[in-house]
Protein backbone atom coordinates (compact mmCIF):
# COMPACT_ATOMS: atom_id res chain seq x y z
CA UNK A 1 0.00 0.00 0.00
CA UNK A 2 1.43 3.38 -1.02
CA UNK A 3 0.53 6.15 1.41
CA UNK A 4 -0.48 9.50 -0.04
CA UNK A 5 -0.92 12.65 2.02
CA UNK A 6 -3.64 14.95 0.68
CA UNK A 7 -3.69 18.36 2.41
CA UNK A 8 -6.87 20.43 2.47
CA UNK A 9 -8.97 17.35 1.68
CA UNK A 10 -11.99 18.65 3.61
CA UNK A 11 -12.28 21.71 1.36
CA UNK A 12 -14.10 22.13 -1.92
CA UNK A 13 -11.59 20.77 -4.47
CA UNK A 14 -9.70 18.65 -1.93
CA UNK A 15 -12.82 16.65 -1.08
CA UNK A 16 -13.30 15.78 -4.77
CA UNK A 17 -9.65 14.73 -5.04
CA UNK A 18 -9.88 12.60 -1.87
CA UNK A 19 -13.10 10.94 -3.12
CA UNK A 20 -11.54 10.16 -6.48
CA UNK A 21 -8.34 8.69 -5.06
CA UNK A 22 -10.09 6.64 -2.33
CA UNK A 23 -12.52 5.16 -4.89
CA UNK A 24 -10.16 4.70 -7.86
CA UNK A 25 -7.10 3.43 -6.04
CA UNK A 26 -7.84 0.86 -3.32
CA UNK A 27 -4.09 0.08 -3.23
CA UNK A 28 -3.34 3.63 -2.01
CA UNK A 29 -3.83 4.62 1.61
CA UNK A 30 -5.12 8.18 1.60
CA UNK A 31 -4.37 10.36 4.62
CA UNK A 32 -6.38 13.59 4.60
CA UNK A 33 -4.71 16.37 6.63
CA UNK A 34 -6.90 19.41 7.22
CA UNK A 35 -7.07 22.15 9.82
CA UNK A 36 -10.85 22.43 9.36
CA UNK A 37 -10.98 26.18 8.97
CA UNK A 38 -14.34 27.77 8.09
CA UNK A 39 -13.80 26.28 4.59
CA UNK A 40 -13.06 22.72 5.70
CA UNK A 41 -16.05 20.48 6.24
CA UNK A 42 -15.89 16.74 6.88
CA UNK A 43 -19.53 16.45 5.83
CA UNK A 44 -18.09 16.79 2.29
CA UNK A 45 -16.68 13.28 2.68
CA UNK A 46 -19.42 11.23 4.37
CA UNK A 47 -19.49 8.79 1.43
CA UNK A 48 -15.83 7.76 1.87
CA UNK A 49 -15.17 8.35 5.57
CA UNK A 50 -15.51 4.64 6.43
CA UNK A 51 -13.45 3.34 3.50
CA UNK A 52 -10.58 1.08 4.67
CA UNK A 53 -8.01 3.07 2.66
CA UNK A 54 -8.99 6.49 4.10
CA UNK A 55 -8.09 8.28 7.31
CA UNK A 56 -8.40 11.84 8.54
CA UNK A 57 -5.93 13.83 10.65
CA UNK A 58 -6.80 17.25 12.00
CA UNK A 59 -3.77 19.57 11.96
CA UNK A 60 -2.17 22.76 10.72
CA UNK A 61 0.46 22.73 7.94
CA UNK A 62 1.98 25.84 9.54
CA UNK A 63 2.94 23.78 12.62
CA UNK A 64 6.39 22.40 11.67
CA UNK A 65 6.60 20.09 14.69
CA UNK A 66 3.23 18.54 13.85
CA UNK A 67 4.09 18.10 10.15
CA UNK A 68 7.45 16.48 11.03
CA UNK A 69 5.74 14.05 13.38
CA UNK A 70 3.14 13.16 10.73
CA UNK A 71 5.87 12.30 8.21
CA UNK A 72 7.69 10.28 10.89
CA UNK A 73 4.49 8.32 11.66
CA UNK A 74 3.72 7.59 7.99
CA UNK A 75 6.08 6.64 5.24
CA UNK A 76 4.43 8.82 2.59
CA UNK A 77 5.08 7.97 -1.04
CA UNK A 78 3.55 11.22 -2.22
CA UNK A 79 1.91 14.50 -1.27
CA UNK A 80 -0.95 16.27 -3.06
CA UNK A 81 -1.01 19.72 -1.53
CA UNK A 82 -4.28 21.66 -1.72
CA UNK A 83 -4.56 23.20 1.77
CA UNK A 84 -4.77 26.97 1.43
CA UNK A 85 -6.64 30.09 2.25
CA UNK A 86 -8.46 30.48 -1.06
CA UNK A 87 -10.79 33.49 -1.13
CA UNK A 88 -9.55 36.75 -2.68
CA UNK A 89 -11.95 38.96 -0.67
CA UNK A 90 -10.71 37.45 2.61
CA UNK A 91 -7.10 38.01 1.49
CA UNK A 92 -7.87 41.70 1.10
CA UNK A 93 -9.30 41.83 4.63
CA UNK A 94 -6.64 39.62 6.30
CA UNK A 95 -3.51 39.08 4.15
CA UNK A 96 -1.40 37.60 6.96
CA UNK A 97 -3.54 34.46 7.22
CA UNK A 98 -2.67 33.87 3.54
CA UNK A 99 1.05 34.37 4.14
CA UNK A 100 0.95 31.90 7.02
CA UNK A 101 -0.91 29.02 5.38
CA UNK A 102 -0.08 29.49 1.71
CA UNK A 103 3.58 30.44 2.05
CA UNK A 104 4.86 29.21 5.44
CA UNK A 105 2.62 26.13 5.41
CA UNK A 106 3.82 25.13 1.94
CA UNK A 107 7.49 25.64 2.83
CA UNK A 108 6.98 23.52 5.97
CA UNK A 109 5.66 20.67 3.84
CA UNK A 110 8.50 21.03 1.32
CA UNK A 111 11.13 21.02 4.06
CA UNK A 112 9.67 18.02 5.79
CA UNK A 113 9.36 16.05 2.54
CA UNK A 114 12.92 16.96 1.55
CA UNK A 115 14.32 15.61 4.81
CA UNK A 116 12.07 12.54 5.02
CA UNK A 117 12.79 11.53 1.40
CA UNK A 118 16.50 12.42 1.22
CA UNK A 119 17.74 8.82 0.79
CA UNK A 120 15.42 7.94 -2.10
CA UNK A 121 14.19 11.29 -3.38
CA UNK A 122 13.46 10.06 -6.91
CA UNK A 123 10.95 7.46 -5.66
CA UNK A 124 8.55 10.13 -4.44
CA UNK A 125 6.24 12.84 -5.76
CA UNK A 126 5.22 16.25 -4.39
CA UNK A 127 2.24 17.72 -6.22
CA UNK A 128 1.49 21.40 -5.59
CA UNK A 129 -1.99 22.57 -6.62
CA UNK A 130 -2.05 26.23 -7.65
CA UNK A 131 -4.15 28.77 -9.47
CA UNK A 132 -4.19 30.75 -12.73
CA UNK A 133 -4.42 33.95 -10.66
CA UNK A 134 -0.60 33.95 -10.24
CA UNK A 135 -0.34 35.14 -13.87
CA UNK A 136 -2.17 38.40 -13.16
CA UNK A 137 -4.90 39.73 -15.47
CA UNK A 138 -5.42 39.75 -19.24
CA UNK A 139 -6.69 42.68 -21.31
CA UNK A 140 -6.29 41.57 -24.95
CA UNK A 141 -9.16 39.09 -25.59
CA UNK A 142 -6.96 37.05 -27.97
CA UNK A 143 -4.36 36.19 -25.28
CA UNK A 144 -4.28 33.31 -22.81
CA UNK A 145 -2.15 32.24 -19.84
CA UNK A 146 0.40 29.61 -20.91
CA UNK A 147 2.98 27.87 -18.74
CA UNK A 148 5.50 30.47 -20.04
CA UNK A 149 3.47 33.52 -18.98
CA UNK A 150 5.45 35.61 -16.48
CA UNK A 151 4.03 35.73 -12.95
CA UNK A 152 2.29 39.00 -12.07
CA UNK A 153 0.11 38.39 -8.97
CA UNK A 154 -2.09 41.33 -8.06
CA UNK A 155 -4.03 40.31 -4.91
CA UNK A 156 -2.69 39.13 -1.55
CA UNK A 157 -4.19 35.69 -2.37
CA UNK A 158 -2.47 35.36 -5.74
CA UNK A 159 0.78 36.82 -4.34
CA UNK A 160 0.80 34.15 -1.62
CA UNK A 161 0.10 31.37 -4.14
CA UNK A 162 2.80 32.73 -6.50
CA UNK A 163 5.26 32.76 -3.62
CA UNK A 164 4.46 29.14 -2.76
CA UNK A 165 4.85 28.13 -6.44
CA UNK A 166 8.32 29.74 -6.49
CA UNK A 167 9.34 27.82 -3.37
CA UNK A 168 8.13 24.54 -4.88
CA UNK A 169 10.22 25.10 -8.03
CA UNK A 170 13.20 26.26 -5.93
CA UNK A 171 13.08 22.97 -3.97
CA UNK A 172 13.10 21.06 -7.24
CA UNK A 173 16.04 23.02 -8.59
CA UNK A 174 18.05 23.08 -5.38
CA UNK A 175 17.29 19.74 -3.71
CA UNK A 176 15.91 17.74 -6.68
CA UNK A 177 12.61 17.35 -4.85
CA UNK A 178 10.40 15.55 -7.43
CA UNK A 179 7.64 18.12 -7.85
CA UNK A 180 4.80 18.79 -10.27
CA UNK A 181 2.75 22.00 -10.25
CA UNK A 182 -0.60 22.77 -11.84
CA UNK A 183 -2.30 26.14 -12.25
CA UNK A 184 -6.04 25.85 -12.71
CA UNK A 185 -8.81 28.26 -13.61
CA UNK A 186 -11.94 28.94 -11.48
CA UNK A 187 -13.69 25.75 -10.37
CA UNK A 188 -17.39 25.17 -9.77
CA UNK A 189 -19.40 22.14 -8.62
CA UNK A 190 -20.87 20.43 -5.58
CA UNK A 191 -19.61 21.19 -2.04
CA UNK A 192 -18.48 24.70 -3.06
CA UNK A 193 -18.41 27.08 -0.10
CA UNK A 194 -21.09 29.78 -0.66
CA UNK A 195 -18.74 32.74 -0.40
CA UNK A 196 -17.57 32.19 -4.00
CA UNK A 197 -19.57 33.53 -6.95
CA UNK A 198 -21.55 30.51 -8.21
CA UNK A 199 -22.63 28.90 -4.90
CA UNK A 200 -23.31 32.36 -3.38
CA UNK A 201 -25.64 33.22 -6.25
CA UNK A 202 -27.44 29.84 -6.04
CA UNK A 203 -27.85 30.28 -2.28
CA UNK A 204 -29.12 33.85 -2.54
CA UNK A 205 -31.55 33.01 -5.35
CA UNK A 206 -33.03 30.23 -3.15
CA UNK A 207 -33.34 32.71 -0.27
CA UNK A 208 -34.64 35.59 -2.41
CA UNK A 209 -31.68 37.70 -1.30
CA UNK A 210 -29.85 40.33 -3.43
CA UNK A 211 -27.30 38.97 -5.93
CA UNK A 212 -24.21 41.17 -5.41
CA UNK A 213 -22.42 41.78 -8.72
CA UNK A 214 -19.10 43.60 -8.23
CA UNK A 215 -18.63 46.75 -10.35
CA UNK A 216 -20.42 46.42 -13.70
CA UNK A 217 -20.12 42.62 -13.84
CA UNK A 218 -17.70 42.86 -16.79
CA UNK A 219 -14.85 40.80 -15.31
CA UNK A 220 -14.23 37.50 -17.06
CA UNK A 221 -13.46 34.13 -15.48
CA UNK A 222 -12.70 30.76 -17.11
CA UNK A 223 -14.85 28.09 -15.40
CA UNK A 224 -14.00 24.39 -14.98
CA UNK A 225 -16.16 21.65 -13.43
CA UNK A 226 -14.43 20.53 -10.22
CA UNK A 227 -14.57 16.81 -11.10
CA UNK A 228 -12.62 17.59 -14.28
CA UNK A 229 -10.01 19.34 -12.15
CA UNK A 230 -9.81 16.23 -9.93
CA UNK A 231 -9.37 14.07 -13.07
CA UNK A 232 -6.56 16.34 -14.24
CA UNK A 233 -4.86 16.16 -10.83
CA UNK A 234 -5.06 12.35 -10.95
CA UNK A 235 -3.50 12.32 -14.43
CA UNK A 236 -0.73 14.79 -13.61
CA UNK A 237 0.08 13.03 -10.32
CA UNK A 238 0.58 9.76 -12.21
CA UNK A 239 1.84 10.87 -15.63
CA UNK A 240 3.24 14.39 -15.19
CA UNK A 241 6.97 14.94 -15.67
CA UNK A 242 9.07 15.93 -12.67
CA UNK A 243 9.71 19.65 -12.44
CA UNK A 244 6.96 20.47 -14.96
CA UNK A 245 3.99 22.81 -14.72
CA UNK A 246 0.59 22.12 -16.31
CA UNK A 247 -2.13 24.72 -16.84
CA UNK A 248 -5.68 23.37 -16.38
CA UNK A 249 -8.77 25.03 -17.85
CA UNK A 250 -11.83 24.31 -19.94
CA UNK A 251 -11.67 27.12 -22.56
CA UNK A 252 -14.88 28.39 -21.00
CA UNK A 253 -14.85 32.14 -20.43
CA UNK A 254 -17.81 34.01 -19.00
CA UNK A 255 -18.43 37.62 -18.10
CA UNK A 256 -19.71 37.63 -14.51
CA UNK A 257 -22.97 39.36 -15.41
CA UNK A 258 -23.74 36.88 -18.23
CA UNK A 259 -23.02 33.99 -15.90
CA UNK A 260 -25.31 35.36 -13.18
CA UNK A 261 -28.10 35.82 -15.77
CA UNK A 262 -27.63 32.21 -16.94
CA UNK A 263 -27.82 30.98 -13.34
CA UNK A 264 -30.98 33.03 -12.78
CA UNK A 265 -32.56 31.41 -15.86
CA UNK A 266 -31.69 27.88 -14.71
CA UNK A 267 -32.87 28.58 -11.18
CA UNK A 268 -36.20 30.06 -12.38
CA UNK A 269 -36.82 26.82 -14.29
CA UNK A 270 -35.79 24.56 -11.41
CA UNK A 271 -37.78 26.50 -8.80
CA UNK A 272 -40.84 26.84 -11.04
CA UNK A 273 -40.62 30.64 -10.96
CA UNK A 274 -41.74 32.87 -13.83
CA UNK A 275 -38.88 33.66 -16.24
CA UNK A 276 -37.03 36.80 -15.13
CA UNK A 277 -37.95 36.53 -11.43
CA UNK A 278 -34.47 35.75 -10.07
CA UNK A 279 -32.73 38.30 -12.33
CA UNK A 280 -34.64 41.03 -10.48
CA UNK A 281 -32.44 40.23 -7.46
CA UNK A 282 -29.26 41.35 -9.30
CA UNK A 283 -27.69 44.25 -7.38
CA UNK A 284 -24.58 46.13 -8.46
CA UNK A 285 -22.23 46.66 -5.51
CA UNK A 286 -18.87 48.40 -4.96
CA UNK A 287 -16.14 46.72 -6.97
CA UNK A 288 -13.48 44.53 -5.32
CA UNK A 289 -10.21 46.45 -4.71
CA UNK A 290 -7.70 45.66 -7.47
CA UNK A 291 -10.25 43.41 -9.24
CA UNK A 292 -8.48 41.40 -11.99
CA UNK A 293 -10.23 41.93 -15.33
CA UNK A 294 -9.88 38.60 -17.11
CA UNK A 295 -8.38 35.15 -16.58
CA UNK A 296 -8.15 32.64 -19.44
CA UNK A 297 -6.13 29.43 -19.50
CA UNK A 298 -4.44 27.79 -22.45
CA UNK A 299 -4.62 24.09 -21.50
CA UNK A 300 -3.05 22.70 -24.69
CA UNK A 301 0.05 21.33 -22.95
CA UNK A 302 -2.06 19.14 -20.64
CA UNK A 303 -4.33 18.09 -23.52
CA UNK A 304 -1.53 17.33 -26.00
CA UNK A 305 1.04 15.77 -23.68
CA UNK A 306 -1.19 13.90 -21.21
CA UNK A 307 -4.42 13.51 -23.22
CA UNK A 308 -6.73 15.31 -20.76
CA UNK A 309 -10.02 16.83 -21.94
CA UNK A 310 -12.94 18.14 -19.87
CA UNK A 311 -15.68 15.49 -19.52
CA UNK A 312 -18.69 17.81 -19.33
CA UNK A 313 -19.86 20.96 -21.09
CA UNK A 314 -20.51 24.05 -18.99
CA UNK A 315 -24.28 23.60 -19.44
CA UNK A 316 -24.08 20.00 -18.13
CA UNK A 317 -21.77 20.92 -15.26
CA UNK A 318 -23.86 23.88 -14.18
CA UNK A 319 -27.05 21.81 -14.30
CA UNK A 320 -25.46 19.10 -12.13
CA UNK A 321 -24.21 21.77 -9.72
CA UNK A 322 -27.58 23.50 -9.34
CA UNK A 323 -29.30 20.13 -8.85
CA UNK A 324 -26.78 19.16 -6.16
CA UNK A 325 -27.33 22.40 -4.23
CA UNK A 326 -31.12 22.08 -4.47
CA UNK A 327 -30.97 18.47 -3.23
CA UNK A 328 -28.57 19.36 -0.39
CA UNK A 329 -30.25 22.28 1.34
CA UNK A 330 -29.21 20.90 4.74
CA UNK A 331 -25.53 21.02 3.72
CA UNK A 332 -26.02 24.62 2.63
CA UNK A 333 -27.92 25.56 5.82
CA UNK A 334 -25.25 23.96 8.01
CA UNK A 335 -22.41 25.64 6.14
CA UNK A 336 -24.03 29.06 6.27
CA UNK A 337 -24.97 28.74 9.96
CA UNK A 338 -21.57 27.30 10.96
CA UNK A 339 -23.19 24.10 12.28
CA UNK A 340 -20.85 21.90 10.26
CA UNK A 341 -18.14 22.51 12.86
CA UNK A 342 -20.15 20.23 15.14
CA UNK A 343 -19.81 17.39 12.65
CA UNK A 344 -16.13 16.92 13.44
CA UNK A 345 -16.86 16.78 17.17
CA UNK A 346 -19.56 14.14 16.74
CA UNK A 347 -17.64 12.03 14.20
CA UNK A 348 -14.14 12.20 15.58
CA UNK A 349 -14.21 13.32 19.21
CA UNK A 350 -17.43 12.06 20.80
CA UNK A 351 -17.76 8.63 19.18
P1 LIG B 1 -11.11 25.71 0.11
O2 LIG B 1 -10.95 27.03 0.78
O3 LIG B 1 -12.48 25.20 -0.21
O4 LIG B 1 -10.39 24.58 0.99
C5 LIG B 1 -9.14 24.75 1.59
C6 LIG B 1 -8.97 23.65 2.62
O7 LIG B 1 -7.68 23.83 3.25
C8 LIG B 1 -10.01 23.68 3.74
O9 LIG B 1 -10.49 22.37 3.99
C10 LIG B 1 -9.24 24.21 4.94
O11 LIG B 1 -9.72 23.74 6.19
C12 LIG B 1 -7.83 23.70 4.65
N13 LIG B 1 -6.80 24.52 5.31
C14 LIG B 1 -6.70 25.87 5.31
N15 LIG B 1 -5.65 26.27 6.04
C16 LIG B 1 -5.04 25.12 6.48
C17 LIG B 1 -3.88 24.88 7.27
N18 LIG B 1 -3.15 25.89 7.75
N19 LIG B 1 -3.54 23.60 7.53
C20 LIG B 1 -4.29 22.57 7.06
N21 LIG B 1 -5.41 22.74 6.32
C22 LIG B 1 -5.78 24.01 6.04
O23 LIG B 1 -10.20 25.80 -1.20
P24 LIG B 1 -10.41 25.15 -2.63
O25 LIG B 1 -11.23 26.07 -3.45
O26 LIG B 1 -10.84 23.73 -2.47
O27 LIG B 1 -8.93 25.21 -3.20
C28 LIG B 1 -8.01 24.15 -2.97
C29 LIG B 1 -6.68 24.49 -3.63
O30 LIG B 1 -6.86 24.68 -5.02
C31 LIG B 1 -6.04 25.77 -3.10
O32 LIG B 1 -4.65 25.57 -3.01
C33 LIG B 1 -6.39 26.82 -4.15
O34 LIG B 1 -5.41 27.83 -4.19
C35 LIG B 1 -6.37 25.96 -5.40
N36 LIG B 1 -7.24 26.43 -6.51
C37 LIG B 1 -8.55 26.73 -6.28
C38 LIG B 1 -9.36 27.14 -7.34
C39 LIG B 1 -10.83 27.43 -7.14
O40 LIG B 1 -11.52 27.85 -8.09
N41 LIG B 1 -11.42 27.21 -5.95
C42 LIG B 1 -8.84 27.22 -8.62
C43 LIG B 1 -7.49 26.89 -8.82
C44 LIG B 1 -6.71 26.49 -7.76
P1 LIG C 1 -14.74 34.36 -6.84
O2 LIG C 1 -15.71 33.23 -6.91
O3 LIG C 1 -14.48 35.03 -5.54
O4 LIG C 1 -13.39 33.82 -7.50
P5 LIG C 1 -12.04 34.65 -7.92
O6 LIG C 1 -12.09 36.00 -7.36
O7 LIG C 1 -10.97 33.81 -7.30
O8 LIG C 1 -12.02 34.61 -9.41
O9 LIG C 1 -15.23 35.48 -7.85
C10 LIG C 1 -15.44 35.19 -9.23
C11 LIG C 1 -15.77 36.50 -9.91
O12 LIG C 1 -17.05 36.96 -9.45
C13 LIG C 1 -14.79 37.62 -9.62
O14 LIG C 1 -14.65 38.43 -10.79
C15 LIG C 1 -15.48 38.43 -8.52
C16 LIG C 1 -16.95 38.26 -8.83
N17 LIG C 1 -17.88 38.26 -7.68
C18 LIG C 1 -19.02 39.07 -7.70
O19 LIG C 1 -19.27 39.82 -8.64
N20 LIG C 1 -19.86 39.01 -6.62
C21 LIG C 1 -19.61 38.19 -5.54
O22 LIG C 1 -20.41 38.20 -4.58
C23 LIG C 1 -18.45 37.36 -5.57
C24 LIG C 1 -18.14 36.45 -4.39
C25 LIG C 1 -17.62 37.42 -6.66
Structural domain includes residue 166? yes
pLDDT-based confidence at 351, cuts 50/70/90? very low
Provide the pLDDT for residue 337.
Answer: 80
State in Å: Cα 238 to ligand 1 middle: 21
What's the CA-to-centroid distance between 275 and ligand 1, angstroms? 36
* Per-residue model confidence (pLDDT) at position 350: 47
259 CA to centre of ligand 2 in angstroms: 11
Active site residue 133: yes
Residue 320 lies in a domain: no
User: Is 216 contained in some domain?
Assistant: no
Mean pLDDT of 126-135: 98
The yes-or-no verdict on residue 308 having pLDDT over 70 is yes
**Confidence class for position 306, pLDDT limits 50, 70, 90:** very high
List the residue whose alpha carbon is closest to atom 15 of ligand 1.
84
Closest ligand (CA of 294): 2
Q: Is residue 199 part of a domain?
A: no
In three-state form (DSSP H/G/I as H, E/B as E, the rest C), the secondary structure along the chain is CEEEEEECCCCHHHHHHHHHHHHHCCCEEEEEEECCCCCCCHHHHCCCCCCCCEEEEECCCCCHHHHHHHHHHCCEEEEEECCCCCCHHHHHHCHHHHHHHHHHHHHHHHHHHHHHCCCCHHHCEEEEEEEHHHHCCCCCCCCCECCCCCCCCCCHHHHHHHHHHHHHHHHHHHHCCCEEEEEECEEECCCCCCCCHHHHHHHHHHCCCCEEEECCCCCEEEEEEHHHHHHHHHHHHHHCCCCCEEEECCCCEEEHHHHHHHHHHHHHHHHCCCCCCHHHHEEEECCCCCCCCECCECCHHHHHHHCCCCCCCHHHHHHHHHHHHHHCHHHHHHHHHCCCHHHHHHHHHCC
Instruction: Please report whether residue 29 resides in a domain.
Output: yes
* Mean pLDDT confidence for 68-85: 98
CB of residue 184 inside a 6 A radius of ligand 2: no
Provide the domain count of the chain.
1
From the list 54, 135, 157, 344, the catalytic residue is 157
Ligand 1 binding pocket (C-beta < 6 A) is 7-8, 10-14, 34-37, 39-40, 60-62, 82-86, 101, 105, 129, 131, 161, 184, 186-187, 193
Query: Does 234 participate in catalysis according to the annotation?
Result: no
Residue 163 domain-assigned (yes or no): yes
What is the pLDDT, as a whole number, of residue 24?
98
Residue 340: per-residue pLDDT = 59
% of the chain surpassing 90 pLDDT? 94
For the cut 80, the answer to whether the pLDDT of residue 338 exceeds it is: no
Nearest-CA residue for ligand 1 atom 35 is 130
- Give nearest CA residue, ligand 2 atom 7: 88
CATH number at 118 reads 3.40.50.720
Q: Which tops the pLDDT comparison, 303 or 350?
A: 303
State the average pLDDT for the chain: 95
- Told to judge if 298 belongs to the known catalytic residues of this protein, a careful annotator would answer no
For residue 333, what pLDDT is reported? 86
* 27 inside domain: yes
* pLDDT number for residue 44: 96
Q: What is the mean pLDDT of residues 162-180?
A: 98
Task: Summarize the confidence of residues 263-287 as an average pLDDT.
Answer: 97
109-130 pLDDT tens trace: 999 999 999 999 999 999 999 9
State in Å: Cα 252 to ligand 2 middle. Answer: 16
Q: Residue 336: what pLDDT? A: 82
Per-residue pLDDT band at 235 (split at 50, 70, 90): very high
Candidate from 5, 35, 84 with most ligand 1 atoms within 8 A of CB, to mutate: 84
- pLDDT of 200 over the 90 cut: yes
Give the per-residue pLDDT at 348.
Answer: 53
Which of the listed residues 86, 181, 196, 295 should we mutate to test ligand 1's pocket, taking the one with most ligand atoms within 8 A of CB?
A: 86
Task: Give the pLDDT score at 342.
Answer: 58
pLDDT digits (tens, 9 = 90+) for 89-98: 999 999 999 9
Whether the per-residue pLDDT at 158 is higher than 90: the answer is yes
Residue 321 domain flag: no
Which residues span the domain enclosing 62? 2-188+224-252+291-313+339-349
* Arithmetic mean of pLDDT, 58-78: 98
Q: Which atom of ligand 2 is nearest to the CA of 86?
A: 7
Is the Cβ–Cβ distance between 54 and 34 less than 8 Å? no
Amino acid sequence: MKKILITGGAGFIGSHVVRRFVNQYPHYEIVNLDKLTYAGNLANLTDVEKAPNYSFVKGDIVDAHFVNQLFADHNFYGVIHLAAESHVDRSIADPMAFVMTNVIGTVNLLNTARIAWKDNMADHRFYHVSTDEVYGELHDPSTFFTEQTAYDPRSPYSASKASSDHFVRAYHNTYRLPVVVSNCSNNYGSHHFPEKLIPLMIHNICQNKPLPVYGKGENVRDWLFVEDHARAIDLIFHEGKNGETYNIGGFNEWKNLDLVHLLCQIMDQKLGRAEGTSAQLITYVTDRAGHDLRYAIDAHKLMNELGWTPSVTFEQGLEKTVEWFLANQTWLDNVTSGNYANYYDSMYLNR
